Amino acid sequence: MSFAEVLGSHRVVVTVGSGGVGKTTTAAAMAVHAAMEGRTVLCLTIDPARRLANSLGLDEMRTSEQDVPRSLFESNGLECKGALSAMMLDTKRTFDGLVEKYASDEESRDRILNNQIYQYVASSLAGTQEYMAMEKLHEVRKDPKWDLVVLDTPPTASALDFLTAPERLIDAIDSPAMRWFLQVFEGAGKEAFGLVGRGATVLLKGIGKITGLEFLEQVAEFVSGINDLFGGFKERAEQVSDALRSPEVAFVLVTSPDPLAIGEARFFSDKLEDAGMNREGIIVNQVHTLIDEPDLSAEEQVAALRAALPESIDAADIQPRLSEALRAERGWAIADRVQVDRLGEQVGEDARIVEVPAFDQDVHDLAALARVASYLTVGA
Ligand SMILES: Nc1ncnc2c1ncn2[C@@H]1O[C@H](COP(=O)(O)OP(=O)(O)O)[C@@H](O)[C@H]1O
Ligand SMILES: [Mg+2]
């Protein structure tokens, strides 16, 4: 199966890898390709990167869907047979949406949304962004409007966090500490399950006189709010976790030829496999191309440069520098080749590795994204 087939046979494609390797770029390139091929595609990113927005003809990435204008494809000499939209993930908004969905009534919904501890957890707690990316994915995956959703994952320090985010949320809510906390409140108030919050607030108000009433009120409110959402959240996190293993979800590893990045990609690949998720390919991005050595002597090179360059440039002066630059570039290319070949041997033949060369310039427009895609789908 080629990468074009991976895009053609899945509803969701997720790019994963360490920071700076080109996840955002390759995710956008795949989205552009699929849209050109006739599918209705959502490119969902975590990255507010202005460069990406600009490449897609947008002023900035927004947390609501924006259509990439068809005319932009045309002005880049491309034909879009389908449609492409882009959206940036809003962690807090996604979490709020969950609260709205699972709160038992309006009052408890507002109580938790306005709670300061909730607001902290929803926007800043480590792992929340990863979980919400998965959550959003689960939501849009079900939306029949999209033929394909390409998700670019957050630049997590530990890529593992991202995969296990739903499980960790379940663990956090279902932790002995949380259960103890809830039990204390329940015991104290001898209240029915649904009224735990009120009992807890009363209890904590008492302590609050000495330790900072407002903070404790917030804690009590948060705990009772979580209690209210407990069943819904847990069930949802389990659904999200299952959804990640569904055959319609493909994970694509992205790496540079750098040994460190490759090491991380391999580690990650093993984890995907252990977790029962579908690793459908590896993109090695920014590979230096091996340029042939010139078959002209140094003198002939100077003569050729002199003929090609304006007189004001001293050909004899720049030839050794160009030679040196070429040697360095060839050195990079040879090192990259060794790394990519080794990766191929390690992951085996069925791993489907594609290479994208390092371009002279940043990927900054739609044509460049389509060019990246052409390497991904080569031989398709
Ligand atoms: N094949 C490539 N050639 C040249 N520049 C690239 C290539 N792929 C990505 N880039 C550039 O590298 C930078 C990092 O890419 P990005 O996709 O943002 O990485 P990530 O999302 O993994 O952090 C961007 O400036 C992007 O334009
Ligand atoms: Mg990125």
Q: What is the dihedral of CA 165, 262, 29, 329, to 10 degrees?
A: 150
pLDDT digit string, tens, across residues 300-349: 999 999 999 998 989 999 999 999 999 999 999 999 999 999 998 888 76
Cβ of 23 less than 6 Å from ligand 1: yes
Instruction: Compute and round to an integer the Cα radius of gyration of the chain.
Output: 26
Average pLDDT per 10 consecutive residues for the chain, totaling 380 residues? 85 89 94 96 86 88 91 95 92 85 88 80 67 79 91 65 63 59 48 40 44 60 71 74 87 94 88 86 94 91 92 91 93 95 84 91 93 85
Q: Which two tokens stand for residue 295?
A: 């078959």
Report the side by side order of strands in the sheet with 40-45. 66-67, 83-88, 40-45, 148-152, 12-16, 249-255, 279-287, 353-357
Q: Which two tokens stand for residue 328?
A: 């360095």
Residues 279 and 205: beta-carbon distance below 8 Å: no
**Residue 11: per-residue pLDDT:** 93
User: Closest Cα partner for 99 from 89, 90, 112, 116?
Assistant: 112
SS3 308: helix
Query: Which stretch of DSSP H or E encloses residue 127?
Result: none
Q: What number of CA atoms fall less than 13 Å from residue 129's CA on the CB side?
A: 18
Alpha carbon distance 133, 111 (integer Å): 24
Instruction: Quote the ligand 2 centre to 105 CA distance (angstroms).
Output: 38
DSSP 15-34: EE-STTSSHHHHHHHHHHHH
How far apart, in Å, are the Cα atoms of 224 and each of 94, 112, 167, 248, 339? 20, 9, 22, 37, 53
Q: Which two tokens stand for residue 356?
A: 């994208």
DSSP 193-240: GGGHHHHHHHHHHHHHHHHTHHHHHHHHHHHHHHHHHHHHHHHHHHHH
Nearest CA to ligand 1 atom 24: 362
User: Closest Cα partner for 200 from 214, 175, 219?
Assistant: 219
Ligand 2 ion: residues within 5 Å (CB): 23-24, 47
Cβ of 212 less than 6 Å from ligand 1: no
Q: What is the dihedral of CA 241, 242, 245, 249, to 10 degrees?
A: -90
Ligand number, closest to the Cα atom of 17:
1
Q: Quick check: pTM over 0.85?
A: no
Q: Give per-residue burial for 315-326: e unless 16+ CB within 10 Å, then b.
A: beeebeeeeeee
Ligand number, closest to the Cα atom of 21:
1
**Residue 45: per-residue pLDDT:** 86
Ligand number, closest to the Cα atom of 252:
1
Cβ of 27 less than 6 Å from ligand 1: no
Cβ of 19 less than 6 Å from ligand 1: yes
Q: What is the DSSP letter of 81?
A: S
Cβ of 356 less than 6 Å from ligand 1: yes
Query: Which stretch of DSSP H or E encloses residue 248?
Result: none
Q: Which two tokens stand for residue 355?
A: 């290479």
CATH of domain 3-290+334-376: 3.40.50.300
Domain ranges of the chain: 3-290+334-376, 298-333
The ligand 1 atom at the shortest distance from the C-alpha of residue 25 is 17
Query: What residue has token string 């920014």?
Result: 286
Nearest CA to ligand 1 atom 15: 22
Pocket test for ligand 1, best of 25, 46, 260, 364 (most atoms within 8 A of CB): 25
Cβ of 305 less than 6 Å from ligand 1: no
